[in-house]
Amino acid sequence: MSQQLALHTKMSKRQALEALEELAGVASPASKRSRFDDYDKSASVSVSASAHENGHEEQQDDEHEEEEEEEEEVVVEKAPIRQSAPTAGYDDLYLDTIDRNVLDFDFEKLCSISLSNINVYACLVCGKYFQGRGPKSHAYFHSLDEDHHVYINMGTQKVYVLPEGYEVTSKSLDDIKYVSDPRYTPQEVAEFDRMPRKSRTLLGKEYTPGFVGMNNIKENDYLNVIVQALSHVSPLRDYFLLMESLGGGGGGETKELVKRTSILFRKIWNPRAFKSHVSPHELIQAIALQSNKRFTLTAQSDPAEFLLWYLNNLHLDLGGTPTKPGSSKIQKIFQGKLKIESQAITAKADALDRLRFEEAAEVKVDISRFLLLTLDLPATPLFQDEQERNIIPQVPLTGILSKYNGVTAQELNRQRKRYRLMHPLPPFLVFHVKRFSKNKFVSERNPTIVTFDARNLDMSPYVEPDPSKHPPGEPIWYDLVANVVHEAVRTKEDVADSAVGEERKTWKVQLRNKATDEWVVAQDLFVDRIQSELLYLGETYLQIWERRREPRKK
C-alpha cells in the first residue's frame, strides 16, 4: 500500500503535462498515448504489485519515452515551411542584403564545404559557394546560421530565397546574372572592333571592354598573356563569345576546356562588369587537370610551350582530328603549309685538295603544316670592346624571317635544310622568337632586340609563288595584333654589400585596339596605353599578325 501511495505521489508532480494534452482546439503534431492512464488502469486491477512487475512497468515506460523522442525528432525535420512563391506584398524581401562589391564569379564553382562542383549556389550576401538548396543542403544551413537568404544557381542563373526556397524573378537582379554569365548578340560582337566604347565599374572606375587586367594568382602570368592575346584574334574571339548564345557552338557535349575558355573570353569583353579585371582561376584549374599539372598557377612556364598545348587541345576538344587539316576553328585560323627541302651533307676533295659540299646530292621535299613559326636570333657576340659593352644588339624582323625565303640554308643533324611558306597563308600568323637555350650546364637568354613596324609586314618574299592562288609580285600585308614581351627581373639579396639575386621571368602583352587604332600594354592587373613606336623596345617573344583584308574588286 505504501508503494502505491509513493507512486501516486510521483504522478501528482506531472499532472501539468496531462492538462496540456486535454486543451481544446489545439492540434497535437503527433498523436501520443499517455502512459499515466495505463498506470491508473493497472493500479485499479491490483493493489499490490511485486518487484518484478514494477520493473516490467518501468521498462515499458522507458520504451514509451524512446518512442516519444523518435516522434519528436521526426516532427523537427518537418517543421520548416517551404514556399513556392513569396508572400503577397513581399516580393523584394531580403534583396536589400545583397552586396555586389563582394561578388566574384571568376573562381572555380566548388562548394566551400563539400568541394563538390554539382548544383552549386553562390550566396549573394557574402559571395561564398554552397551546394544545393534543399532542407539538408549546405546552402540551407548557411542561410539559417548566417542569416544570408539570397542565392543564385551558377548553372541556371536562377535566384532563390532560403530557407523558404522560392524563386525570385525581380529585374533588379539582371545585372548580377549578366556578370555571372555574359551573353552577346552577333550585332554586339560585330561592334567591338568598330565603335570605341568606355564602361565603368561599381566604384566608378573607367575601363575599356576587352582591355582589362588579369589576376596573377602566383606564377600564372605566362598564361595571362596568351589568353589576352588570343582574346583579340577576332574570329576566335567571336566564336567563343557567341558559343553559348548560339547553343554551345556545335553538336555534342561541350568539353570543359572549351566552356571555361568561352566564359573567360566573355568576361574579358564584358561591358557591364563590376570590376576592371578578371581572374583566370577557373580556366587554370581545368588546364592543370587536363595537362596532368604540366601547367599550373604556382609554377612559371614557357608561354610558347603553353600556346602550342592550348591550341592543340582546343582543336581536339572542338571536334578536330589529328590528320584532317582545317577540321576545327583553330586550324582554320592559324594553320599554314610549309615546304621543307632537306639535303644530306657530304664532303668531297677537288683537285686542289679542298673540301666542298656535293651539290648534286639528292634533295628531299616535304610538305608540313604549322601553327606557329619559329624565328632564330643571331648569336650574341662573345667579345665586345669597352665602348660597346652596354650596347644591346638589334636585328630587324625581316632579317630573321629570311629563314623562310627558300634560299637561306640551315644545318641540322648532318643535313642542310631550306624552308618556304606556301599559299594560301593562314588568316593569322604566330611568330615565336627563340630567346632561350639550354645545355647540360646553364640556361642562357639572348637579349637581342627585334625591330619591326606594327603595320605593313609584307610576307610575299617568303611564300612559294603560285599564280593560281596569288598574283606574282603583289604584296601580302599583315598587321600586328598582339606582342608578348619578356622581362627579366632580378630579386635583390644583400650578399657582402652587393646586390645579387636570382633572375626571374615575367611577361606582359601589347594589344592593338582596332576601334581606336591605339596600343595598350597589359601586365597582370596593370593596363596602360603605349606608343606604337615603342613596341619593339622590349624582348619580343611571341607575335600574332593578322592578314589584311583585300578590298573587294568591283
Distance between CA 289 and CA 59 in Å, rounded? 60
Confidence of residue 414 (pLDDT cuts 50, 70, 90): confident
Q: Check residue 76 and report its DSSP letter.
A: H
The DSSP result for 248-305, as a single string, is: TTSSSPPPHHHHHHHHHHHHHT-TT-SSSEE--HHHHHHHHHHTTTSS-SSS---HHH
Measured torsion, CA atoms of residues 29, 35, 38, 43, in degrees rounded to the nearest 10: -150
Confidence of residue 497 (pLDDT cuts 50, 70, 90): very low
CA geometry: angle 448, 450, 453, nearest 5 deg: 165
Inform me whether the pLDDT recorded for 13 exceeds 50. no
Confidence of residue 89 (pLDDT cuts 50, 70, 90): low
Predicted local confidence at residue 77, as pLDDT: 45
Inform me whether the pLDDT recorded for 448 exceeds 90. yes
Residue 530: strand, helix, or coil = strand
CA geometry: angle 291, 293, 294, nearest 5 deg: 70
Residues 6+ apart with CB under 8 A from 502: 490, 491
Q: What is the mean pLDDT of residues 70-85?
A: 54
pTM of the model: 0.80
Predicted local confidence at residue 314, as pLDDT: 96
Rg, Å, the chain Cα set = 37
Q: Answer for the pair 418, 406: CB distance below 8 angstroms, yes or no.
A: yes
Predicted local confidence at residue 47, as pLDDT: 38
Kindly give the pairing relationship between strand 347-349 and strand 213-214: unpaired
% of the chain exceeding 90 in pLDDT: 58
C-alpha separations of 67 from 11, 168, 385 in Å: 20, 41, 98
Helix axes 51-78, 35-45, angle to 10 degrees: 160
Predicted local confidence at residue 61, as pLDDT: 52
**Minimum mean pLDDT among 165-174, 313-322, 386-395: which range?**
386-395
Predicted local confidence at residue 438, as pLDDT: 82
Other CB atoms within 10 Å distance of the CB of residue 486: 20
Distance between CA 541 and CA 231 in Å, rounded? 18
Q: What is the mean pLDDT of residues 369-373?
A: 95
Predicted local confidence at residue 1, as pLDDT: 45
416 vs 520, more confident: 520
**Minimum mean pLDDT among 252-266, 380-394, 481-495: which range?**
380-394
Q: Check residue 122 and report its DSSP letter.
A: E
As a whole number of angstroms, the longest Cα–Cα distance in the chain is 143
Q: Which three cell numbers stand for residue 450?
A: 627585334
Q: What is the pLDDT of residues 206-242, one digit of tens each?
A: 999 999 999 999 999 999 999 999 999 999 999 999 9
Compute φ and ψ for 64, nearest 5 degrees: -65, -40
One-letter amino acid of 248:
G
Where do the domains of the chain lie, and which CATH numbers do they carry?
Answer: 2-75 (no CATH), 95-178 (3.30.40.10), 339-547 (3.90.70.10)
C-alpha separations of 503 from 234, 433, 489, 537 in Å: 36, 20, 6, 20
Q: Answer for the pair 310, 229: CB distance below 8 angstroms, yes or no.
A: no
On average, the pLDDT of the chain sits at: 82
Predicted local confidence at residue 504, as pLDDT: 86
Q: What is the pLDDT of residues 294-345, one digit of tens each?
A: 999 999 999 999 999 999 999 999 999 988 888 899 999 999 999 999 888 7
Q: What is the mean pLDDT of residues 110-116?
A: 94
Confidence of residue 123 (pLDDT cuts 50, 70, 90): very high
Q: What is the mean pLDDT of residues 422-448?
A: 90
Compute φ and ψ for 537, nearest 5 degrees: -70, -20
Confidence of residue 52 (pLDDT cuts 50, 70, 90): very low
Inform me whether the pLDDT recorded for 523 exceeds 90. yes
Distance between CA 396 and CA 352 in Å, rounded? 40
Distance between CA 534 and CA 536 in Å, rounded? 6
Q: What is the pLDDT of residues 38-47, one digit of tens each?
A: 444 444 434 3
Residue 234: strand, helix, or coil = helix
Cα 292 off chain centre by? 16
Inform me whether the pLDDT recorded for 56 exceeds 60. no
Distance between CA 433 and CA 119 in Å, rounded? 45
Q: Which three cell numbers stand for residue 160?
A: 532563390
Inform me whether the pLDDT recorded for 201 exceeds 90. yes
444: region left, alpha or beta (phi > 0 left; psi from -120 to 50 alpha): beta
Bridge partners of residue 495, in order along the sequence: 498
Please give the helix or strand (H or E) that residue 536 lies within, else none: none
Predicted local confidence at residue 495, as pLDDT: 47
388 vs 206, more confident: 206
